[in-house]
Structure 1
Amino acid sequence: MKRFFGHLILWAYAVVALAPLVVMVLDSLRPNTDVLADPLGLPKTLDLASYATAWTEASFSTYVRNSVFVTVGAVALDVLVSLPAAYVLGRQRFRGRGVLIAYFLAGLMLPVRLGILPIFYLLGSIGLVDSRLGLVLVYAASGVPFSIFILSAFFRGLPVELEEAARIDGAGEFRIFARVLTPLVKPAIATVVVFRFVPLWNDFFFPLVLLRTTDRYTLPVGLTQFFGEFQTNWSALFAGLVIATVPLVVLFLLATRQIVEGLTAGMGR
């Protein structure tokens, strides 16, 4: 009986959480006149005109391209930097290791937004204000402490025998890292990718402060322009929101298994 009520509560929560998304998708497939007349109605026919309006007239193609470049670039650079650092901190024993771990953990305690003025002046001094590359570097650097924290925990949990067997076979340190241990932490990498991708894709603060040119805006900032220009076209607004949401849904669907494996494995460490 307890299990039944538990499932009932979870299904009720899922319905409440998904209802706005379903309404958003359905209204994006209806003409604006139908949406204004009956906001909760069902589409009579599938009308994709609103998606064409959002993609072309509202420059969503540019915003999506910028968001993909910034988010994918930042996450890739974050993982590329964090993986070797996490391997060293998780598997090696050396003087000062505890200090380095504490240093990276301190990055989790300090919100990066508190440093917006130094970040702005630093990027300005090297000509990276109003640059997508500057935004990539800021995002990648801000995610390194979290990524190292997650990845190093997984590296520590791997059996020492794997490393010893590889050394007996003549493998060097880099080969042990790249060919033996890194494939075993794929669930952790997937967890880091998802948990970093989502907030970066949705971030509004740094693009608003660091970007000046409309053609370089990411989706969250571009949406504010979109809302002002198409505030009476609800169908196009919903289409724009669907376009902004689809990559996150696809990412979760593709990485769900790896995320679950990563989180459950992390609980055992």
Structure 2
Amino acid sequence: MTAVLDRADHRRSAAPAARRRPRSRGTARHPLAYLLLAVLALYALGPMLVFVLASLKTPSEISDSPLGLPGEFRWSNFATAWLDANMGTGLMNSAIISVSTAAGVCVIAGCAAYALTRLDLPKPGAVILYLLVASSLPIQLFLVPLLSLWTEIGLYDNRFGLIVIYWALYSPFATLLIRSFLLAVPKEYEAAARLDGAGEIQVFTRIVFPLIWPGVLTAGLVSGLQAYNEFLLAVTFIQDSENLPASISLYSFQQGFSPNWALVSAAGLIMVLPVLVLFIALQRRFVEGYTSSGMAG
């Protein structure tokens, strides 16, 4: 089994080196490339900059000069928005829902992908077709029957009921993503490990998982971010103010009788910041998981 682990470690260390390619200096330093990158950066960051400036203004300043600088940076808007929009409770609920969704999807999709690639299933192509169809159907088709069923079995208006729906909604794509990583893992590694006396749990945790963990991480990040930003299901299945996620707390705050757009912008920025920090911290792994999978057939 030691030999199998050594080969697996060599494969992991060699993979990034194999993906590296020499950059063309002429292309990287072309003026048009910098101009295009500057335009794209302005297109992406411009609305966020206006959003940040609006959160530091007064309502009258937003009306008079929506794109201008604030006369005085009002950092107190964030404290007021935090309390008035109940963002603390909303962020806590969103964190619980997102983390639980990501963890559940990784387990469900990981087991399903492992079965598709390692077990002798009848007609695996039909299963893959089903996953493709399931991941493309709009959730609006099932909204009314789901609402009726969840009310009858007691899963309406609680976070666990919403998390179960997210598991079913995001697992098909995650299964296909993790499966593409498993197809790239030679089965000989697992066979050699079994000959050395390793059990199925050891084979998966010490041989398979270290080779596919970028795909599992990517599946978890995608499903977690989707659950964090999802609106339709959350506003339909959650009514208790103590269980509302951040997106619904922000929506309820925005729908006030006379919304203060400076405070609404501050509350929206509070909601965006955790996702932004998480993406910046895991950006390299996130992009690596998407680009290295290839969604192989």
TM-score normalised by L of structure 1? 0.90
Distance (whole Å) between structure 2 residues aligned to residue 240 and residue 268 of structure 1: 38
Taking a change above 3 Å as real, the CA distance of residues 97 and 223 of structure 1, as seen in their structure-2 partners, is same
- Structure 1 unaligned blocks of 5 or more: none
Q: How many residues align?
A: 269
Match for 1:265: what amino acid? Answer: S
Distance (whole Å) between structure 1 residues aligned to residue 110 and residue 119 of structure 2: 14
Equivalent in 41, 44, 56 of residue 83 of structure 2: 56
Contact 2:85/2:250 (<8 A) preserved: no
| Residue 199 of structure 1 pairs with residue 219 of structure 2 | no
Equivalent in 136, 139, 143 of residue 163 of structure 2: 136
| Residue 66 of structure 1 pairs with residue 93 of structure 2 | yes
Match for 2:66: what amino acid? Answer: P
Equivalent in 68, 77, 90 of residue 117 of structure 2: 90
In structure 2, the residue matched to 1:107 is: 134
Q: Secondary structure at the match of 1:214?
A: coil
Taking a change above 3 Å as real, the CA distance of residues 232 and 137 of structure 1, as seen in their structure-2 partners, is closer
In structure 2, the residue matched to 1:250 is: 277
C-alpha RMSD over aligned residues: 2.2
Aligned residue runs from structure 1 range 34-49, under 5 A: 34-43=61-70, 46-49=73-76
Equivalent in 195, 212, 237 of residue 210 of structure 1: 237
Q: Secondary structure at the match of 1:216?
A: coil
Distance (whole Å) between structure 2 residues aligned to residue 228 and residue 106 of structure 1: 36
Contact 1:150/1:188 (<8 A) preserved: yes
Equivalent in 268, 271, 283 of residue 241 of structure 1: 268
Equivalent in 97, 120, 123 of residue 150 of structure 2: 123
Contact 2:117/2:179 (<8 A) preserved: yes
Match for 1:167: what amino acid? Answer: R
Quote the offset at 1:264 in angstroms: 2.1
1:201-222 per-position Cα deviation (integer Å, ceiling 9, x unaligned): 1211111211222222222222
Contact 1:190/1:255 (<8 A) preserved: no
Contact 2:109/2:175 (<8 A) preserved: yes
1:24-81 per-position Cα deviation (integer Å, ceiling 9, x unaligned): 1133234445444433333565432111111112211121112111122112111111
- Structure 2 unaligned blocks of 5 or more: 1-25
Distance (whole Å) between structure 2 residues aligned to residue 60 and residue 75 of structure 1: 22
Match for 1:249: what amino acid? Answer: L
Q: Secondary structure at the match of 1:229?
A: coil
Equivalent in 12, 18, 39 of residue 39 of structure 2: 12
Taking a change above 3 Å as real, the CA distance of residues 231 and 69 of structure 1, as seen in their structure-2 partners, is farther
Taking a change above 3 Å as real, the CA distance of residues 231 and 73 of structure 1, as seen in their structure-2 partners, is farther
Match for 1:146: what amino acid? Answer: F
Q: Secondary structure at the match of 2:239?
A: coil
Match for 2:160: what amino acid? Answer: L
Taking a change above 3 Å as real, the CA distance of residues 125 and 33 of structure 1, as seen in their structure-2 partners, is same
TM-score normalised by L of structure 2? 0.82
Match for 1:117: what amino acid? Answer: V
Contact 1:51/1:236 (<8 A) preserved: yes
| Residue 161 of structure 1 pairs with residue 206 of structure 2 | no
- Percent identity between matched residues is 32
